[in-house]
Structure formats: C-alpha cells, structure tokens
C-alpha cells in the first residue's frame, strides 16, 4: 500500500482506540487512488488463493476470500455513505466510475471457475469439517451467492451478467442523483402572509429562517424537504398552496429535466433479463428466494389479505374526510392534497388533538437522550458524547456506547437535519460492521441519518410525533448493528433477510408512544414539565386514527414494487400510465396523471428494496406479535429484553430468521397481530 500510504482512507489512518474514520482529512481526490489500490490488492489476494496448492479448506479458501477485500470494502463503504449524506455533484459523479469497477470485480471473482471449484470442494464436505453453526452458515450463504451470481453459467451468459451488472451500477446512482437534484431544484418563495393562513407559528418561523438563509430580506421560503412541506399539507387553509406543493413533491424526476422514466425502464428490463439468464421467472422470483416470504405468490397473498381487510376501513376514512371537508369548506370532491389537512381537522374535532400541542415536549435533544435512556433500561447500555472524533459535517454528533461493565460496544454517529448535500428520508447505516476484519473482531460504528425539523434563530428543534417515531425506528436499526455478536461481518447484524431487518426498528417505535416510554423523555422544552397524562391519552387515541387508509397507502407501495418486478417489463411502454393502471384499485382519491411515485421511489430503484418493499408490512406483523410479549410482561421487562437482545439483535444472519424468531417468541408469529394492533380486527 506504499503508493497511498498518506491516504486517509487506509486502515492505518483511522483514529485512536475506536479506529474512527478520519472524516476531517478525507477529500474527493482520495477516493480513486484508494479504490484503484484496493482493487489491485483484492486481485493479488484472489490470485494467491487460486495458486495455493494445498487442499481447499475453510481457512485457506472461505476465510481467505472473506478477508481478501477488507480495504476495498472500507473505502467503498465510506464513499457510498458520504454520497448519501454529504456530497456535491462532483462527488456523486464519481459513482459512475466506482460502481462499475466494484461490479466488475465482484463478477470476476464469483464467476471465476477456479475459485468456485475450490469453494465447492469445501462446500461439498461441509458436514465432515466440524464447523461451528456460524461457519457453516457463512459457507452455505456464500456458496449460494456464487450460484445466484452465475457461477454455473456458460461463458457467454456469464459475460452478459457482467455487462448487466456494470450497467446497473451506473444507472441506479444516476436515478438517485436525479431525485435529489429535482428535490433541491424546487423553491417556493412567498411574500404575502395571507397566502399562509393556518400555518402554525413554528412553521412560519422555519420558513422565514430558510428565506434568510437563501439571501431574502423578507418573506417565507419552502422547499421539498419533509419538514418544510408537512406544515403546508397539514395546516395551510390555502387549498391552491396545498395542491402546488403536493404536485411538486409528487412529480419529482417525472417529466422534468431530471426525468427518471427512461432509467426506470432500463433498470427493470436489465433486472428481468438477469433473472431470466439465471433461470428465474422474474426478478421478484430471484430476490424472494432469499427472503422469509420465499415467493411472489406468498407476497401477493399477504398483500391481498391485508388490503382485503383494510380497504373497507380506508374507504370509510375517506368518506369521513369528505364529510368534514363539505361541512367546513363546501368541498364536494376531496383530493389527495386535502387528506392531511382535513385529517388534522377531524383529529382536533374528535380527539381535541393537535400535533402542534405535543411538539414542545419533543425537543430533539431530549428525544435522543430518551432513546439512549430506554436502551439503558432495556439492554443495560450507557452512552457518552465524544468531542474528539472526526466528523464529516458540523451537524454530526458522535456517542460512545458501553455496557453495564463499561465494555466498549460501539460508536453511533447522529446526523439529523436536512441539507442540500443529503438525500431525503431517514436511514441507519454502518461505517464499520461488527465482526472479523484485519485479523481481529471489531465492534461496530453505526450512523443514523435523517432530515428532521431543524432549529431556527428563535426556537430549538421541536419534532412532530411522526419524527419522534422516525428517530426511534432508526435507533432500533442502530441497536441491531451495535448489539451484534457474530464472528463474520457479512452475516452479522443488521445483514439479515430484508423482510426481517425491519423488526428491530419497528418494534422500537412502541417505546416512543407508550406512556412508560414517554415519561422517560417527553418534557416541555421551556418548563421541563413532563408531558401531561391527558396528552398521552390523546396520542394513544390517534394512533389508529384512519388506520385503514394508512395501511392501504403502505400496501400500495408494495403493490407498485411487485408490479415492476414480478412481470416481463418489455411490454411496459409508459411509466406514468403503467403506474396509474397498477394502482387503480388502491388509489383512494381522484387520479392525477401529473403525479408519479415510481420516478422518485428510491427504495426500489436506487436502494436495496426491489421486490422487497412489502418487507415493511411483513415486519410489522413480526413486530406486533413480538411486542405483544413485551406488553404482557411489561415493556421494560429485563427477561424479555434480554431474550430479544440475545436471540434477535445479536444473532445476525447466523440462522434462518424464523428459527431466530422462534427462540425469542416460542411460537410462529400470529399474522393477525398487526390487524389487532391497528384496530382493524377485534381482540
């Protein structure tokens, strides 16, 4: 590694006892030299494995191959994490080079006949090697990965797989970049306060603050970040304003200069072709082979069962909103951009609940402190903010997590506010996955990235209830990563089946709304007063408010995902028309051909959820069933929490998810648990 010995991306440049990434020293120009050197190292390591004349065994083949790409994994991991959270156009453009190089190397190895034959030799005698359960699992998963990547194909088909993967490695990042560019391109500047009637003072302050940041001496500025548009959708009396912002958000990268329609067609065509070459009917069949659901038929059955129960409730939800819209404003046909506005009106009328009333109790710093305190109560974890760890943006904060005996558990980075260099949404990611690297088993470094309501020059960051749930959701993912206790990082938490990975995150949301959880952190930011019992009661009452339409909305995303990936897409000519046709039975409001979700559906076209978006609802079943045990025993019951930690969070993908779940719950999940929790089924 002499050529890049001063490059801050090398392992030796990591900082102190934590081996923290030196973000303060990393620049754009460091990545390509590091990637090129790392690729060279991997190829040298693979050549050594191929040339080894000793009989292939677990150490000289499986572990050797596992360890061969450590440096490359580290460099690419830093790059792609920063690309999502702190990058400019030049930084993102580098993905067009790095992605294809990584894809080329991956296929080069997994399709190498000598490597595969060595791997197969070990695999074929796995039952005689006295392997541990985790070693055997690693061997089996990786062998199947070879096969699923084309190791058994003829040369011409292998070459075509390589071409497809190279192309996908280029266009998927471009899709994501288009969504971000379309989001950043939109600004709505308003100078007449009368146009903003109904907006709460907190939203007006935020918009005025944004206008100042954009160089305006007066007025109010809005963009397409969720904290900016949500108050308009929920409170703006100006119906045309709600319509304008809804259309802008719902048409990102659709029929504009960042149009993703052609990229979508390329992506689904290539995915389908790849699946066909590998012997699968569709991309969905390929993906779901390695999921709990196992097949598209099972996913469709699950979606149909859920939507069949939820749809009558959803239609009733819309009828209720239509009624109040008619009563209050004489609106004869309610539109999608009216839904949140009249939902808030109905909540206030029926439950005397206004989300603005609870925000003062959800100061961001208190919410974060509460999440850590709840983790302490459940899992005996301690946390302390560190000020000497390099960060990639001034908003980022870093915490050390330790156990009850002060043993180091891991680092957690928190990056919680929106900016133009960050893609929208919220996610958890790993900077260092727990497990074996550089000859030692290291503890993890995880991050939570989000775009929460920021502070202004007059008020601190005060979160909506939904944002509090987002924090706890991502914190659940973070705990999954932090509490992993495996040997091999590739199967350590959270590297589990996609329809299992949302269990730790979704179950954590419960502590954000249960009274015992709220009592830990929900304090008025000015007075320090605990959230009143009557307000907690209101929160509970509104949890299942319009649960039918909420469920149908989520189900429709899964339907759209499967519609793109469980078909031969060659006959799909128009992205907009196809989406409208697919969702016609799930659209609760009048259709609008100018809106399109597919063109900004980053989960399935720019992320890892293709043929897997149903996972959120699937995991909600697991979560609802699992939390019933916590409710039965007590939400801070140590025995239940310890079992969840040891049997779910710590185990990664060392066993099949259902086997892991059975060890915690003692039975298979009850499919009706979600419906009971949502109020769509009687107890």
In the chain, what are the domains? 2-110+112-148 (1.20.1050.40), 186-250 (no CATH)
Catalytic residue among 70, 74, 134, 474: 474
Q: What is the dihedral of CA 389, 394, 395, 396, to 10 degrees?
A: -20
Residue 129: burial class (beta carbons within 10 Å; 0-12, 13-18, 19+): middle
Asked if 198 and 235 count as a contact pair (C-beta separation under 8 A), the reply is yes
Is the Cα torsion angle 418, 419, 420, 426 positive or negative in sign? negative
Is the Cα torsion angle 44, 80, 3, 8 positive or negative in sign? negative
In angstroms, the CA 265 to CA 598 distance is: 11
Check residue 337 and give left, alpha or beta (phi > 0: left; psi -120 to 50: alpha): alpha
In angstroms, the CA 485 to CA 286 distance is: 29
In angstroms, the CA 82 to CA 104 distance is: 22
In angstroms, the CA 610 to CA 612 distance is: 5
Asked if 139 and 62 count as a contact pair (C-beta separation under 8 A), the reply is yes
Please identify which residue in the block is written with the tokens 């649960």.
Answer: 547
Check residue 268 and give left, alpha or beta (phi > 0: left; psi -120 to 50: alpha): alpha
How many angstroms from the chain centroid is the CA of residue 668?
A: 26
Cis peptide before 202 (omega within 30 of 0): no
Q: Which residues pair with 386 in a beta bridge?
A: 398
pLDDT in tens, 190-202: 999 999 999 999 9
Percent share of the chain, pLDDT over 90: 95
Q: How many helices (H) and strands (E) does the chain have?
A: 28, 9
Q: What's the confidence (pLDDT) of residue 671?
A: 84
Q: What's the confidence (pLDDT) of residue 608?
A: 87
Asked if 104 is an active-site residue, the reply is no
389: three-class secondary structure by DSSP: coil
Q: What's the confidence (pLDDT) of residue 356?
A: 92
For 535, the token pair is 């307000």
Cα Rg, the chain, nearest whole Å: 25
Which of 102, 192, 63 is CA-nearest to residue 490? 63
* CA distances to 265, 569, 611 from 566, in Å: 14, 9, 8
Which residues in the chain show pLDDT less than 70?
1-3, 682-683
407: three-class secondary structure by DSSP: coil
DSSP 530: B
DSSP 418-444: --TTS-SS-EEEEEE-SEEETTEEEPP
Exposed e or buried b per residue across 638-651, where buried means at least 16 C-beta atoms within 10 angstroms of its C-beta? eebbebbbebbbbb
How many angstroms from the chain centroid is the CA of residue 224?
A: 19
Provide the mean pLDDT of the chain. Answer: 96
Asked if 501 and 507 count as a contact pair (C-beta separation under 8 A), the reply is no
Q: What's the confidence (pLDDT) of residue 316?
A: 97
Q: What's the confidence (pLDDT) of residue 4?
A: 80
In angstroms, the CA 361 to CA 369 distance is: 13
């Amino acid at each position: 590694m002499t050529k890049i010995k001063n490059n801050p991306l090398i392992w030796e440049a990591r900082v102190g006892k934590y081996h923290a990434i030196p973000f303060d020293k990393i620049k754009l120009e460091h990545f390509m030299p590091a990637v090129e050197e790392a690729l060279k190292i991997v190829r040298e390591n693979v050549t050594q494995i191929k040339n080894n004349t000793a009989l292939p065994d677990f150490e000289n083949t499986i572990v050797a191959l596992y360890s061969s790409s450590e440096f490359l994994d580290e460099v690419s991991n830093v790059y792609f994490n920063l690309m999502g959270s702190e990058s400019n156009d030049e930084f993102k453009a580098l993905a067009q080079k790095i992605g294809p190089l990584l894809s080329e190397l991956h296929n080069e190895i997994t399709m190498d006949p000598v490597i595969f034959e060595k791997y197969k030799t070990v695999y074929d005698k796995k039952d005689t090697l006295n392997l541990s359960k985790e070693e055997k699992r690693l061997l089996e998963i990786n062998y199947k990965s070879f096969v699923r990547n084309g190791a058994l194909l003829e040369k011409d088909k292998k070459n075509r797989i390589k071409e497809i993967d190279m192309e996908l490695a280029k266009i998927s990042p471009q899709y994501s970049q288009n969504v971000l560019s379309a989001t950043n391109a939109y600004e709505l500047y308003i100078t007449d306060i009368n146009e903003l009637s109904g907006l709460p003072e907190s939203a007006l302050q935020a918009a005025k603050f944004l206008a100042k940041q954009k160089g305006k001496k007066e007025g109010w500025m809005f963009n397409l970040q969720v904290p900016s548009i949500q108050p308009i959708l929920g409170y703006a009396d100006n119906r045309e304003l709600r319509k304008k912002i809804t259309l802008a958000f719902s048409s990102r990268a659709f029929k504009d200069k960042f149009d993703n329609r052609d990229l979508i067609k390329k992506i689904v065509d290539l995915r389908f072709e790849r699946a066909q070459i590998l012997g699968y009917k569709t991309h969905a069949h390929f993906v779901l082979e390695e999921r709990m659901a196992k097949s598209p038929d099972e996913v469709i059955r699950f979606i149909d069962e859920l939507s069949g129960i939820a749809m009558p409730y959803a239609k009733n939800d819309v009828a209720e909103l239509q009624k109040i819209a008619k009563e209050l404003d004489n609106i004869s046909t309610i539109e999608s951009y009216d839904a949140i506005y009249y939902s808030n009106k109905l909540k206030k009328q029926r439950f005397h609940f206004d989300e603005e009333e609870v925000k003062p109790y959800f100061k961001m710093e208190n919410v974060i402190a509460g999440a850590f305190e709840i983790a302490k109560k459940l899992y005996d974890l301690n946390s302390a903010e560190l000020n000497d760890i390099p960060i990639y943006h001034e908003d980022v904060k870093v915490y050390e997590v330790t156990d009850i005996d002060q043993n180091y558990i891991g680092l957690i980075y928190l990056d919680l506010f929106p900016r133009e260099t960050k893609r929208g949404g919220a996610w958890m990611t790993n900077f260092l996955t727990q497990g074996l690297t550089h000859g030692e088993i290291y503890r993890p470094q995880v991050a939570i990235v989000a775009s929460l309501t920021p502070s202004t020059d007059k008020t601190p960051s005060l979160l909506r209830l939904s944002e509090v749930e987002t924090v706890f959701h991502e914190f659940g993912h973070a705990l999954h990563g932090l509490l992993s206790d495996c040997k091999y990082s590739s199967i350590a938490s959270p590297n589990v089946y996609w329809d299992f990975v949302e269990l730790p995150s979704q179950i954590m949301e419960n502590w954000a709304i249960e009274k015992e959880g709220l009592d830990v952190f929900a304090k008025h930011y000015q007075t320090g007063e605990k959230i009143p019992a009557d307000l907690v009661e209101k929160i509970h009452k509104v949890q299942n408010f319009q649960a039918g339409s909420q469920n149908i909305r989520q189900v429709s995303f899964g339907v759209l995902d499967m519609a793109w990936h469980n078909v031969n897409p060659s006959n799909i000519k128009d992205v907009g028309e196809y989406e409208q046709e697919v969702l016609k039975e799930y659209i609760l409001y009048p259709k609008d051909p100018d809106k399109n979700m597919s063109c900004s559906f980053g989960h399935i076209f720019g992320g890892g959820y293709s043929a897997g978006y149903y996972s959120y609802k699937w995991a909600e079943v697991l979560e609802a069933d699992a939390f019933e045990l916590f409710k039965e025993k007590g939400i801070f019951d140590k025995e239940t929490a310890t079992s969840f930690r040891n049997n779910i969070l710590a185990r990664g993908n060392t066993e099949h998810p259902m086997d892991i779940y059975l060890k915690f719950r003692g039975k298979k999940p009850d499919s009706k648990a979600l419906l009971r929790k949502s109020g769509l089924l009687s107890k």
